[in-house]
Amino acid sequence: METKQQELDKLAQDTEGKRAEIEAKYVILDQMAGIIEGYEPPSIHYGQLYGSNGSIHFRGCDYESIRKGKSPDRDLLAALLKAFPPQPKVQVRDGCLSYRPAVKEWKGELLDVCPITVHVEVFQGLTATYEWFARLCTAPAWVRDHGIAQECLDELWRFEVTFPLGRTELGSVRTEVERDKYGTIMRYTRCEFLPNYDKPLDAQVVKWASGGMQYPNSFELWWDVDGGKEVDFPATVKEVL
């Protein structure tokens, strides 16, 4: 059993860690100030994953009462890709399949891929999330300006920008289900991603397993390195009229 002092010490450490995360969050937002003004603020989450420090996720808000800005559009995606260039990415097969930053020699079968991948989610709404890894610094400006934050200059972060799938030129999803007499979905008999053949993007599609028969699949769209260079990713997002 912990003593009172041990609990207080742990609380102090947790508080200090949370304070550092909040300070870093606003350093990140300051670096994006000229890009994200007028848009819904991103969600910034800390957590080590594949060598990255956390994620910066842009998506719209469906609820007008709590909306703080406009939803992401092709201009925001283009600006973020220019300001925070995607770092090299690899496909890793090590019993499972994943897409990771090329920051070290991962174990398993490796394949260099386009640094930008797109995750298509079907459950609770059709969305397409453009994902890439980029480097930025979370040290305060005065520290960066004096060149004494080298350990912070190479932090790797995962960028995510989510759009309704229907607002992209990527394609569509076709599902077929069996329902009980009350209309409840019993199981999905079909869940497929259909590329947009009118504007082929030559994406390769990974179909992820679902959590059970009553849930739909999700998908990952990826390109080889050369194929990805031919894709204008912001242009795959339809303009808002």
pLDDT of residue 144: 52
- Measured between alpha carbons, how far is 117 from 132 in angstroms, rounded to an integer? 7
Sign of the Cα pseudo-torsion (131, 136, 140, 142, in order): negative
pLDDT of 66 reads 75
Alpha helices in the chain (DSSP H): 4-31, 33-36, 74-83, 141-145, 150-153, 225-229
Total Cβ atoms within 10 A of residue 158: 19
> Position 147: which residue type?
G
SS3 at position 213:
coil
Write down the pTM of the prediction. 0.87
Q: Tell me, what's the pLDDT at 31? A: 86
Query: With a cut of 50, which residues of the chain have pLDDT below it?
Result: none
Under 8 Å between Cβ of 201 and 211: no
User: What b-and-e string marks burial along 185-211, b requiring 16 or more CB atoms within 10 Å of the CB?
Assistant: eeebeebebebeeeeebebeebeeebe
Beta sheet of 97-101, edge-to-edge order? 97-101, 89-93, 109-113
Residue 234 CB neighbour total at 10 angstroms: 18
> How far is Cα 121 from Cα 119, in angstroms, rounded to an integer?
6
CA distance 38 to 151: 32
Q: What is the structure's pLDDT at 152? A: 54
pLDDT in tens, 94-106: 989 999 999 888 9
CA angle at 97 for the pair 92 and 102, rounded to the nearest 5°: 25
| Tens of pLDDT, residues 54-93 | 899 999 877 677 778 899 999 999 999 999 999 999 999 9
